[in-house]
Structure 1
Amino acid sequence: MVSEVGNQLAELTSRLVQIDSVNPPGDVTKVVEFIKNWLSERGFSSSIYEYVKGKPNLIARVGKGKPVIILNGHTDVVPPGDLSKWTYPPFSGRIIEGKVYGRGSTDMKGGVAVIMMVFAELGPLIEKKGTGSLVFSATADEEVGGHAGVEALVKDNVLAGDAAIVAEPTGFDKYCIAEKGLSQVKLIARGRPAHGSLPLLGDNAIMKLIKAIEKAQDTVNEINRGIKLPQDLIEAINNSSRVYLEGALRSGLKLSEDDFRHTIGSVSFNPGVIKGGSKVNMVPDYAELELDMRVPPGVSPSNVIDKLRNTLSGLAEVKVLDTSEPNYTPSSERIIQLIREGIGKQGAEAKPIIMTGATDGRYLRLKGIPTVIYGPGELTLAHTYDEYVTVKDLVNTYNTIKYTVEKYLGLRQ
């Protein structure tokens, strides 16, 4: 039997899913208009900050003074892909047997619905009691880096507080305390052209690039042998390994917890795009590779890049494409402890995890704001066909976040 709160959360999630906010192009105007009107109907005013046309960010606040707790969720979603592979249309928001289906249901319109309802439920009490402030932020651009969203808001000091909850999907009994950083580079090899029948007259850039890739991997392996992970993250890495393994086994892959434990706790190495040459009977004088590396806490992305430059000197140039620092919130922070308590109130064992990718939480953490990633939906369902979020997850994460805010702002003893 679904509770009234469950029905409301499912319906709100469905309404959000039905509003196409695919990124690219990332136009979230319509979904932000819906959220603004929804809040207005319940007596809350909000402000819009638009750094890039078509990518508005909405901020609503209640209460006054400190402490300030931020609830954050992004409104953009990834493209649906091949429409024929969806059982139900990706923007239908169908509610069937306790699940809300559609693109963004898990990542992360279910999470946005949860924090909208928490904000609306607690807002009047916070205004009346004056025990601090609650900020609701529905932000743009996360699926392509968050530069026109949370990053810009944090830089402008529009989004600031003493703690934050980002309602990305973790599942109701798990919470994310850390994210790996990013080192994305382009390796460029240059050679000398010649006729393909006389390769000795040229200098083959593709062959040089192949050697550079092998040397780059050896360098990353050497870095990984010397990594010392923060002790605070060992439990999170172990839990994450189990989560990712479950998804892998469902897909028929024969992997182990140790495989994932190694990948999560080390610098990953993924050559993603390779280009080179112009004609089969020419010695190529140019070749390039775009390399994606994810960096765990305890490792500096810039140090990884510097070591690659030293190793590949004379063989390939190393051009930086994008970087971000690994980041985590210590388990001793109050926001973490309250989330754990809230999960326990739902009758579950709270499990910390680490994300291999990045969320908008990195911008908040790097600003010094203790941040926890916690919301409805499973990590392994994000960006998939037939994406869904369960009503049970919506309700349990709503209860946990509501409890956390109440305790943090002194509304509950």
Structure 2
Amino acid sequence: GATNFLVGKKAPAAGGIKVVSLEGGTAANVVTPKCTLIVEGDIQVAEKDGITVEKADGRTIVTAMGVGAHGSTPELGENAAIKLLQAVEENDFGGDFQNMMQLLLQKFGTETNGATLGICWQDEETGETTVNLGVVKYTEEEASFTLDIRYPKNAVPETVRENVKQAAEEYGLGILECKSVDMLYVSKDSELVQKLLKVYETETGDHAEPLAIGGGTYAKAFQNMVAFGPEFPGEEASIHQPNECADVDRLMQSIQITGAAMYELAQK
């Protein structure tokens, strides 16, 4: 299952250091690849790889570059928002920017399984909890960030919502939006999955076991449905990355496999 949160506060309280803006991320389900902070005056910035500092018109502009990754595998990326906040955390910003920064660093940081929040579950079939910080924003109108939290079949969704709520309130923030999606789980022993495995082995000559992934697919929109391809074992995944692409020969092979699967599933 999965729950997406927008955590923050409308009309955040200003602090001693005037924060003009904080902006990072492109989507809730992508690890923040870039984050920029603009403040009035000078601030301390720790030297880190991927951090640049500019001075212009009496302002300090700090930019952090991370590594994007799919929200279901945040451990494969490097979150630029966390990197930036770590670089400036020695400053006493005050106000709700300070609150948001401390919440993100102390309850999330570089951790991607929700252990500090008490929401880390593990299951042999459906994996481990993942927590992705996607979009971060701070302006005079709103301080907020998104969380994309995905959890295995033995998780307790109510605990996820309650623990995130408690963590936010501890730092004077709240839940602005919250949306959950039930887990799609079809047994590997089902007729559907067994037929698909048979087709794959016939067409490729490879014996494969079904996989459970954290990523959401359109299969969730239907009953008794699973995602089938088109990525092959051993391929370098470029999903949600710059220059996302697919090999043409593999795409053609996938079309052939899909056609054979449609024929097999249509048989009684």
The TM-score with structure 2 as length reference comes to 0.55
Q: Which residue of 2 aligns with 1:374?
A: 228
Kindly report which structure 2 residues correspond to 1:168-183, keeping only aligned pairs within 5 A, or say none.
181-183=2-4
Is 1:184 aligned to 2:41, yes or no?
A: no
Corresponding residue to 1:363 among 192, 197, 221: 221
Q: Percent identity?
A: 9
Aligned to 1:349: 207
Cα pair 1:339 1:400 within 8 Å, conserved: no
CA gap 1:393/1:195 in 2 versus in 1, 3 angstroms: closer
CA distance in 1, matches of 2:257, 2:14: 63
Q: Which residue of 2 aligns with 1:274?
A: 137
Between 294-303 and 323-332, the greater mean CA deviation after superposition: 294-303
**Any unmatched runs of 5+ in structure 2?**
19-92
Instruction: Name the CA shift for 1:269/1:221 in 2 (closer, same or farther; >3 Å).
Output: farther
Partner AA of 1:292 in structure 2 = L
Q: Show CA shifts across 1:188-246 (max 9, x none).
A: 2766557769xxxx9611112222224542893245665142x433xxx5xxxxxxxxx
- Kindly name which structure, 1 or 2, has the bigger radius of gyration based on alpha carbons: 1
CA distance in 2, matches of 1:296, 1:391: 35
Counterpart CA distance in 1 for 2:132 and 2:246 is 30
Deviation at 1:409, TM superposition (A): 3.0
Deviation per residue, 1:264-304 (Å, 9 max, x gap): x2222315212145xxxxxxxx7512122231222344531
TM-score, with normalisation over the residues of structure 1?
0.38
CA 301–291 in structure 1, closer or farther in 2 if over 3 Å, else same: farther
Q: Secondary structure at the match of 2:99?
A: helix
Task: Name the amino acid aligned to 1:296.
Answer: Y
Paired residue secondary structure (1:268): strand
Aligned-partner Cα distance in 2 for 1:195–1:307: 30
- Indicate whether 1:207 and 2:61 are aligned: no
- Cross-structure match for 2:167: 311
SS in 2 for 1:292: strand
**Which ranges of structure 1 fall in alignment gaps of 5 or more residues?**
1-179, 238-264, 278-285
CA pair 271-400 structure 1, distance change in 2 beyond 3 A:
closer
CA–CA distance in 1 between the matches of 2:108 and 2:196? 39
2:149 pairs, out of 286, 294, 306, with 294
CA RMSD for the aligned pairs?
A: 3.5
Aligned residue for 1:329, secondary structure, equals coil
Give 1:390's match in structure 2, choosing from 240, 248, 251. 248
Report the counterpart of residue 333 of structure 1 in structure 2.
Answer: 190
1:137-175 deviations in Å (ceiling 9; x for gaps): xxxxxxxxxxxxxxxxxxxxxxxxxxxxxxxxxxxxxxx
1:140-151 matches, cutoff 5 A? none
Residues 134 and 146 in structure 2, CA contact (< 8 A), matched pair in contact too: yes
State whether residues 15 and 96 of structure 2, in contact with CA within 8 Å, keep that contact through their aligned partners in structure 1.
no
Which residue, 213, 221, 230 being the options, matches 2:115? 221
CA distance change for structure 1 residues 391 and 295 in 2, over 3 Å: closer, same or farther? same
Task: For 1:324 and 1:270, locate their aligned partners in 2 and report how far apart those are by CA, in whole Å.
Answer: 18
